[in-house]
A and B are shown apart, each in its own frame.
Chain A
Amino acid sequence: MFSWFKYKNYPLFWKEYSKKFKQKQPKSFENTRFVIFDTETTGLDISNDRILSIGAIGIFENVIEVIDNFEIYLKQDQFKAETVEIHGILKEGKLTKMSEAEAMENFIAYIGNAVLVAHHTAFDIEMINAALKRLDLPKLKNKTIDTGILYKKLEGKKDAHFNLDLLSDEFSIPKHDRHTAAGDAFITALLFLKIISKLKKERNLHYSDLFRVSGKEGLM
């Protein structure tokens, strides 16, 4: 009930971000900017693990715009040696790293009101939301799409879990830079284009269908 008061105290970048959702949102594939993103984290525990890097790339008018890319690495106190072999990010590496606060500010400014797409979105979104919460910020407002669920729609499959490696193979997408946030975002972007294209061909896919979640996979 004090939300109007809280709102006033948000930092400028968040106000700018919120403002973008006050306007009319695009209603078709062609007018929508999709941001395909991925996070690399210290682990899978949303409350205790931390984001080490975020990679993202934009799609507009069915084209992956390389210029519209985003790639950052975060300074985190938490560090788990055992996940280094997956994401390859060392605690003190050569990469330029920024604080979680800076990272969120940059990421929020970058995504704007784009539709967020990820492979198994729920996890990445929750990681971002957890980071926002630590900064006393509300949750992300963006619409989201999960390529894993899109794939199940395409194939009419119900419960199985399809990881990115499996789908890259099925859609013959080269697995370069797998397990870097940017690399995975790029792979997911190609996957997204291919699935959408197949969905459009096989059925009369409406824009709103993208956000319709079937049954228990209701992750959004």
Chain B
Amino acid sequence: MINIVIYFMKNTIAERIYDFLKNFPPFDVLEKEQLFKIASNVKVTYVEKDHFVFKQEENPHEHFYVVKDGAIGLYRNMDNEQILVDICDEGDIFGLRPLIQNDLYLMSAKANEESVLYAVSVEILKEIIQTNEKVKKFLIASFSSNIKTPYAKGTNGQIFANIEILQTSNSSFTEIQSAEFSKNPVITLKTATIKEAAQIMSEKRVGSILIVENRNPIGIITDKDLRSKIATGLVSIDENVTAIMSSPVKTFKQKITVAEAQIAMIKNKITHLCITKDGTDKTELIGVLSEHDIVVLHGNNPSLLIKKVYRAKDVNSLKYIRDKTSNLLEGYIEQNIPITFISKIISEINEAITIKAIELSLEEMDKRPPVKFGWLALGSQGRKEQLLMTDQDNALVFEDVPQEKYQSTKQYFLQLSKKVTEKMNVIGFEYCPADMMASNPKWCLSLSEWKNQFDAWIKTPTEDAMMMCTIFFDYDLVFGDKMLVNAMSDSIYESINSFEIFLNFLGRNALRNPPPIGFFRQFLVENDGEHKDQFDIKSRALMPLVDAARLLTLSHSIKDKNNTVSRFKKLIKVEPKNQDLYLSCIDSFNILLQFRTSQGLTNNDSGRYVDLNNLSKSEKLKLKGCFKPIRDVQELLNIRYNLAQMM
């Protein structure tokens, strides 16, 4: 009662909050009464430095936040580390997306300094969305990019869409996140009975049916209608479908985005949208977009996928999951989620899939493995840096057996490996053209054989041997016995220590690719072949960093670090004086990997070769920004290993 009285009288505090909010989007486009209503319902909170407003994976609050004073850092948890993704200061909004999308918080929000926040009720905002088109646009734009990349700093950040850019050109957003709808909607005519409609629905196993007239949608019946109107006896099952259909239906154009669809569903409290030729209900129906479709699209959440892998009973379901993973990857890249996080997720799913493929193969074998063994991922898979589907690189190590049992043991594991690699091929990891796979007798070896092999490579450092080292040194145990792999690692370090010049050879190998930039600051491109005039981002930009990190960690006998970023991180600890260089190497590596991945997704290839003509100026600048650390780290190797003399 009192509040009502005050509302019509004077409300100094709400006015003051109003005056503050009106300076910032989306509040600046609100009607006066709308904003005043928001202001008079604000909850003011004070957050002490280092205290959390909310944590990642928590259920969303009923409010989103506007920073009044202070600064709030948004963090993502990765590898028990918190990576700062964005800092919100005066007037910035955070914590809104999960409220609208009914999702958990994707990030933690922590006060970087003591802060005062205005908490705004999402319910009031939802009401406003229904009437205010500008606010809706703002929200759609900000949803698509509310995670800024931490790696955009230093260059002009144009690759990474931010809100301002999206506000001026919404088209790019519409393209990248168009919602996928069902193209063959289940339909019936308005003359059909409810019973007939229900029969069609159960036959086609769908939860909704569209009623059409001249192919234009005029109504919809969902499971819910059947439950609430038929099962309750309210309407007879023999009546016409028009008796229970919801009509008219909400229609949209094909290019509807996920965010638009979600907002339309929230706004109209409906779960299905009709897609028609021109977006009105006066044209032909071409599809239906259900809330479920959106959940599927966005519900590719990694833990769900991994659970599905565990439950998978055959290769085809694994293939399906791997395809879903690609969708997930695409979504992550579009949303500029930090690449270290993406790599981790994708690697985990890939690893789970590989393990499942091995388990399925083991079940097919006549007997259990005769001795312990380990399945190794090699190269970029071993380094957990593989995001796109590329070919498989793997190897197998088995326990030493007496001479007389060697043949049968090796045969067993070759047979097993063949089954695994076949499955991986079906799933989408193509066979390695160079046959670097465990099914190759050369790479399915006993522990002693591996030790000898590594020793031979290390002590006769030919160019081929060096190449093998770069691939086989980056192994990662995917399945099997850890002790075997530890023994392998130990023997490698022994061999290296007894033959130290090996590191110089490896160093020379690391410099085999000249710096990516030529004398006139031009990109060095391929001179001939299929990829003439294209830039080879893998061998000219990523590999130099990978090679440098490997060499430097080997030189310090650092074990258990098989990933480029974690290698550089470890190196920072060992060589604090080179901290700045190694940090910039990490940044560059992450940007390049993200770049390669998005190139690959765009062109549906490995993303290795970049056509410079298709890059914008800012993209070129951003790439060039990554090259300085490459040059610097190559320089460091050059000096440290006296490589100038060896070249």
Contact = CB atoms under 8 A, between A and B. Distances in A.
Interface of A: 55, 57, 62-73, 95-96, 106, 109-110, 172, 174, 176-177, 180, 182-183, 185-186, 189-190, 193-194, 197-198, 201
A69 B13 contact: yes
B43 A63 contact: yes
Given A67-B40, A69-B14, A190-B116, A197 B46 contact: yes
A169 B10 CA distance: 27
Nearest to B42: A66
A55 B12 CA distance: 9
B63 to A, nearest CB: 9
Contact of A70 (B6, B46, B114): B6
A189 to B, nearest CB: 8
A177 B11 CA distance: 12
5 contacts: A64-B45, A69-B14, A96-B10, A182-B13, A183-B16
A177 B69 CA distance: 17
Given A66-B39, A70-B6, A190-B116, 12 more contacts: A64-B44, A64-B45, A66-B42, A67-B3, A69-B40, A106-B5, A177-B16, A185-B13, A186-B12, A193-B46, A198-B48, A201-B48
B119 A63 contact: yes
A96 B10 CA distance: 8
A71 B45 contact: no
Interface of A is mostly: mixed
Nearest to A192: B46
B388 to A, nearest CB: 47
Contacts of B13: 55, 57, 66, 69, 71, 182-183, 185-186
Contacts of B114: 194
Interface in B101-151: 114, 116, 119
B2 interface: yes
A64 B11 contact: no
Interface in B1-35: 1-3, 5-6, 9-14, 16-17
A177 B6 contact: no
B222 interface: no
Interface of B is mostly: mixed
Contacts of A183: 12-13, 16
Contact of B9 (A72, A180, A198): A72
Given A57-B13, A177-B16, A71 B6 contact: yes
Interface of B: 1-3, 5-6, 9-14, 16-17, 39-46, 48, 69, 114, 116, 119
Kindly name the residue among B10, B13, B39 whose own CB sees the greatest number of chain A CB atoms within 10 A.
B13
B16 A186 contact: yes
A197 B69 contact: no
B44 A190 contact: yes
Nearest to B38: A66
A194 B46 contact: yes
Given A66-B40, A66-B41, A190-B46, A177 B3 contact: no
Contacts, number: 79
Given A70-B2, A106-B2, A201-B48, A96 B43 contact: no
Nearest to A53: B10
Per CB-CB distance, the 3 closest pairs between chain A and chain B, nearest first, are A64-B44, A182-B12, A193-B46
A30 B308 CA distance: 42
Given A177-B16, A183-B12, A66 B6 contact: no
Contacts of B119: 63
A73 B5 CA distance: 13
Given A71-B9, A72-B9, A177-B12, A66 B17 contact: yes
A174 B11 contact: no
Contacts of A68: 3
Nearest to B5: A106
Contacts of A66: 13-14, 17, 39-44
B457 to A, nearest CB: 59
A182 B42 CA distance: 16
B4 to A, nearest CB: 11
Nearest to B10: A71
Kindly name the residue among B16, B46, B114 whose own CB sees the greatest number of chain A CB atoms within 10 A.
B46
Given A64-B43, A64-B44, A172 B69 contact: yes
A32 to B, nearest CB: 16
Nearest to A180: B12
Kindly name the residue among B5, B10, B40, B69 whose own CB sees the greatest number of chain A CB atoms within 10 A.
B10
A55 to B, nearest CB: 7
A90 to B, nearest CB: 14
B515 to A, nearest CB: 50
Contacts of A63: 43-45, 119
Contacts of A186: 12-13, 16
Contacts of A73: 10
B46 A67 contact: no
A190 B45 CA distance: 9
A40 B100 CA distance: 43
Nearest to B63: A63
A62 B44 CA distance: 9
A215 B135 CA distance: 56
A69 B6 contact: yes
Contacts of B39: 66
Contacts of A106: 2, 5
A106 B69 CA distance: 33
Contacts of A193: 45-46
Contacts of B6: 69-71
Contacts of A177: 12, 16
A110 B45 contact: no
Nearest to A60: B43
A117 to B, nearest CB: 14
Contacts of B9: 71-72, 96
Contacts of A55: 12-13
Nearest to B116: A190
Nearest to A64: B44
B87 to A, nearest CB: 18
Nearest to B41: A67
Nearest to A171: B114
Given A63-B119, A110-B2, A174-B69, A71 B12 contact: yes
Contacts of B44: 63-64, 66, 189-190
A189 B43 CA distance: 12
Nearest to A197: B48
Contacts of A189: 44
Contacts of B45: 62-64, 193
A39 B478 CA distance: 71
Nearest to A67: B41
Kindly name the residue among B2, B12, B48, B119 whose own CB sees the greatest number of chain A CB atoms within 10 A.
B12
Contacts of A57: 13
Contact of A95 (B10, B14, B16, B17): B10
A16 to B, nearest CB: 13
Contacts of B14: 66, 69
Nearest to A193: B46
A198 B49 CA distance: 11
Contacts of A185: 13
B268 to A, nearest CB: 28
B19 to A, nearest CB: 8
Nearest to B8: A96
Nearest to B15: A177
Nearest to A63: B43
A176 B116 CA distance: 15
Contacts of A72: 9
Kindly name the residue among A66, A96, A180 whose own CB sees the greatest number of chain B CB atoms within 10 A.
A66
A154 to B, nearest CB: 14
A197 B39 CA distance: 25
Contacts of A67: 3, 40-41
Contacts of B40: 66-67, 69
